[in-house]
Amino acid sequence: MSTDDEMTRRVLHAMRTTGSNRYFTPDDVPDEVIDAAIEAARFGPSGGNRQPVRWIVVRDRAVLAALASLYLPAWKRDMAMFLSGEMRTGATLGPTLAAADHLAEHYHEVPALLVACVWLKEMHAHMRADDGSPNMLAGSSVYPIVENVCLALRAQGIGSIITTLICESEAEAAEILGLPDGVMTACYIPIGHPRDGFPTKLNRLPVDELVCRDRYTLAAPGAVG
């Protein structure tokens, strides 16, 4: 096997087995591991190469507890919607909800939390709503870098999960984190050594249910189940 073939295999394996880790051991994640992940991830693309993403590495237990107090009620609302059938899930309901609920209840205990922040002035004009806040297009300059971080952590044996519920309480989170005017959060990533290892099989739709040619011909997403 050539070096290029081996690299391809490793990259594709990491992409297939990163998943969302919601159970962590209490072991510390060294700064050098986090820095190495961000160092690699920063090469992700952004509009005009403006590179709007900045990072906060949160370890302080008081700060984590304050952020967790914003996360938990938002999750409990969503869990009730899943259980009632109001919100659809594409995963096995019981284990998925149990894992998500565990994370919510133990959010303040994660070894470290990476907060992806964005300088709004570094967004293209078409990525901002009339009030200056980012619209859905803004993610194109943010989430490629975020996913790069998760993959770079995976390569070093560290699990992660991208969460966004705290973003609903942006003003409160900004005060907790000391964000200056013009900076807002894009997501929060709990990280740590995965308690149960990395997944070997993830439940995802097959390619033929995701891809069509030239015109949209795909069926609507399935019912709750």
Q: Which CATH superfamily is domain 21-209 in?
A: NADH Oxidase (3.40.109.10)
3-state SS class at 38: helix
Burial of 118 (C-beta count, 10 Å sphere; 0-12/13-18/19+) = buried
Q: Is the pLDDT of residue 92 over 80?
A: no
pLDDT value at residue 172: 98
Cross-strand pairs, 24? 194
pLDDT value at residue 91: 59
What interhelical angle do 61-84 and 93-105 show, nearest 10? 150
Model pTM?
0.91
How far is residue 209's CA from residue 220's CA, in Å, rounded to a whole number? 10
pLDDT tens, residue by residue, 17-30: 998 999 999 999 99
Average pLDDT for 92-101:
81
Q: Is the pLDDT of residue 89 over 70?
A: no
pLDDT value at residue 124: 76
Q: Kindly list the domain boundaries of the chain, sorted by start residue.
A: 21-209
Query: How far is residue 7 from each of residues 19, 168, 220, measured CA to CA in Å?
Result: 20, 39, 36
